[in-house]
Amino acid sequence: MEEKKLKLQSIKDTVEQIAEVIAMVLGIEVSIIDQRGERLYVTGSYKDTIEGYVSLDSVFSEVLEGKKDQAVTDKLQSMTCRDCSYRDQCLELANLCAPISVDGEILGLISLIAFDDDQRQRLVDNQEAYRKFIDKMANFLESKMIEEHSKHQISIQKVQLEAILNGVDEGIISVNAKGEILFINENAEKLLGKSEKGLQGKPLSEVFRHFERIEKALKDITSNNKKGGRLISKPLAAKNGKDARFFLGNYNPVRKEGTDIGGILSFRPYKDIYQMAQEVHREEAFVGFDSIVGESKILQETIKIGKAAAKQNSTVLIQGESGTGKEMFAKALHLASPRREKNYIPINCGSIPETLLESELFGYEPGAFTDANKKGKKGKFLLAHEGTIFLDEIGDMPLNLQVKLLRFLEDGVIEPLGSIKSKYVDVRVIAATNQNLEELMEQKLFREDLFYRLNVVPLRIPPLRERREDIEILAEVFLRRYEERFEKEGKHLSLEAKKVLKEYSWPGNVRELENCMEYALNVSKNRMIHKEDLQQRILGDNPKDPEGDGILSLDSMEEKMIKKALGHYKNTKAAAEALGIGQATIYRKMKKYGIT
């Protein structure tokens, strides 16, 4: 953007007033000329007789070019006037000029003009005093021009700043030292459902519920901290009739020379932040094979097989105990495959009731059942068209669906419920199980033909106890993953704690280790995570209560109760019923605590 230059025209009113003041005080006419030689103002009765621009060979041009000093120019004696092309029309007998300049650049001049002999004589006699006076006046015009220029710059900056603030996704409100609203951006208007007009001048406590508490918290931080308090990620509820709108906000005080002169509140809807956090976590959580942590030879070998398998289109059967990372491998296979741009659709065959699994997988036609969605439903296979479907817990798939899956693997077609026609879909299948499929086959619970169709590329994920070298690095990765969430950064494992971790059998594998680190981070009280900060089961059969007071965390209680119920009933359905939770919930919680 071109920066506006300093110009005398921008203070035209002041130019006129100053010219009149000088003329009145000195009794001599005054002309003020700008940088380009235009007479901006002439006092007295000659106003209309004098030409708009000075001639280029006049004494004024010399002053504007910085060639002449400020002595009186007497027309009768001046060489410049003798050669001036305007000489014959010129009515001026003498003049005294003072340049108006800023930072060495001449931006115009003030000229005292004698139109008669009396004025000329006074000019000659008092030139020293007059010169000082018009110099002062020139200085005044200079500072006025600078002031006008800064005002202009500030107004441009204000417009730019408002455009920036209106362009951000957050709501932004600035307040003065009393907490009254000065500015509110367009997004804040939208989020609060109120207009800027209605909000200007109002205290924030009229806009947000319980803002007084926030102000008090701020004061408390400020009184303990010379730099002044800041609030980060504070929950805010905006008053909106009976309803409230919820946000997370940051408040930054604006301070000048140690004094609060106001503050800036920025806020986003709570919902957005939650979604964003989830997305970031998901993104950060997985980028493919590179996210699979572990340096053991056996794991590296498995990754190598996985990478090679990813390039082909063959069906992969991932086998491994619960929590070994089967799902991770499945996702990594998809991301390393030519299908990576298409859908990856995971489905857990064990956590969906048998009656629903068929429609979940293969969908149904419009009007297939009386209480079904009238438009029909696309099954996971159709959603995964050209991509990958991950059939987790394949060992739990009921036999009738095993037939349908086999049909797909053999002919590439599926049959949605209620349809008489088969549909062709292009889907790569990755299946996983922590069960022993050979045993299931012996018990006739798993079809042999399906097994061989699935097991084209077998991938066995080794349990953690077979790759103890990975334990320390995995533990470290999980500590770093959770430390931000719990705001407990820089924690490390003591040598003793590492030893315990390495010796433990890890029946819940990596998931159990992950939970163990989350727990340890939670309970540890100093920078080092000691062996006492680890869960009791990891410490051994007869561990000491780390707190010594018999109090368990709610998570530990939950884990204990689930184990007790499972031990007692020997099946998940009955255990879930006894605990008063659904079957999907007990599966989720079993997964969480690494219970197999």
Ligand X SMILES: Nc1ncnc2c1ncn2[C@@H]1O[C@H](COP(=O)(O)OP(=O)(O)OP(=O)(O)O)[C@@H](O)[C@H]1O
Question: Which residues in this chain contact ligand X in the complex, by CB under 6 A?
Answer: 292-294, 320, 322-328, 392, 434, 474, 510-511, 514, 591
What is the SS3 assignment for 477? helix
Nearer to ligand X, 196 or 476 (CB): 476
Quote the least distance from Cβ 565 to ligand X, whole Å.
Answer: 19
413 three-class SS: strand
In terms of CB distance, is 323 or 416 closer to ligand X? 323
Q: What is the nearest approach in angstroms of ligand X to the Cβ of residue 220?
A: 39
Neighbouring residues of 425: CB distance < 8 A, sequence distance ≥ 6: 381, 382, 384, 385, 408, 412, 413, 414
Residue by residue, DSSP assigns 235-303 as: EEEEEETBEEEEEEEEEEEEEETTEEEEEEEEEEEHHHHHHHHHHHHHHHH--SGGG-----HHHHHHH
Q: Compute the half-sphere exposure of residue 332: CA atoms within 13 Å on the CB side of its CA.
A: 23
DSSP-assigned letter for residue 417: B
Q: Is 31 or 322 the residue whose CB approaches ligand X more closely?
A: 322
Calculate the CA 82 to chain-centre distance.
73
Q: In this complex, which beta carbon is closest to ligand X, that of residue 325 or of residue 363?
A: 325
Query: In the bound complex, what is the minimum distance in angstroms from residue 482's beta carbon to ligand X?
Result: 11
d(CA 576, CA 594): 16
What are the start-end ranges of the H helices in 369-468?
380-383, 399-411, 437-442, 448-454
Minimal distance in Å, beta carbon 369 to ligand X?
30
In this structure, what are the phi and psi dihedrals at residue 565, rounded to the nearest 5 degrees? -65, -45
Least separation, in Å, of the C-beta of 155 and ligand X?
55
Q: Which is nearer to ligand X, 108 or 323 (CB)?
A: 323
State the minimum distance, in angstroms, from the CB of residue 591 to ligand X.
5
Report which of 205, 447, 590 is spatially closest to residue 581, judged by C-alpha positions: 590
CA atoms of 286 and 344, how far apart (whole Å): 13
Nearer to ligand X, 37 or 288 (CB): 288
User: Which residue, 255 or 563, has its beta carbon nearer to ligand X?
Assistant: 563
Q: Which long-range contacts (CB under 8 A, 24 or more apart) does 355-359 make?
A: 357/397, 357/398, 357/401, 358/400, 358/401, 358/404, 358/417, 359/417
Beta carbon of residue 323, minimum distance to ligand X (angstroms, whole number): 5
- Where would I find the H helices in 387-508? 399-411, 437-442, 448-454, 469-483, 495-503
Based on CB atoms, which residue is closest to ligand X, 205 or 291? 291
CB of 256 to ligand X, least distance (A): 49
Nearer to ligand X, 223 or 596 (CB): 596
Cβ distance to ligand X smaller for residue 471 or 497: 471
- Calculate the alpha carbon distances from 87 to 40, 49, 472 in Å: 21, 14, 98
Nearer to ligand X, 112 or 586 (CB): 586
CB of 243 to ligand X, least distance (A): 38
Phi–psi pair at 107, nearest 5 degrees:
-110, 0
| Residue 325 C-beta: closest distance to ligand X, Å | 3
Query: In this structure, what token pair is assigned to residue 583?
Result: 């079957």
Residue number of the CB closest to ligand X reads 325
Distance CA 457, CA 316 (A): 5
**Residue 374 φ then ψ, to 5°:** -60, -30
Nearest to 519 by CA among 554, 474, 472: 554
CB 221 to ligand X: min, Å: 37
**Phi, psi at 287, each rounded to 5°:** -120, 5
Give the residue from 37, 65, 62 showing the smallest Cα distance to 51.
37
In whole angstroms, how close is the CB of 478 to ligand X at the nearest point?
8
- Smallest distance, ligand X to C-beta of residue 270, A: 26
Helices (H) and strands (E) in the chain, counts: 24, 19
Q: Which is nearer to ligand X, 141 or 510 (CB)?
A: 510
Cα 359–chain centre separation: 39
User: Closest distance between ligand X and the C-beta of residue 387, in Å?
Assistant: 19
State which residue, 173 or 471, has the beta carbon closest to ligand X. Answer: 471
CA separation, residue 145 to residues 4, 52, 102, 349 (Å): 12, 22, 9, 79
Rounded least distance, CB 413 to ligand X, Å: 28
Distances from the Cα of 444 to the Cα of 317, 320, 404, 450, angstroms: 19, 21, 17, 12
Both tokens assigned to 135: 């110099």
- Token readout for 466 is 């077979």
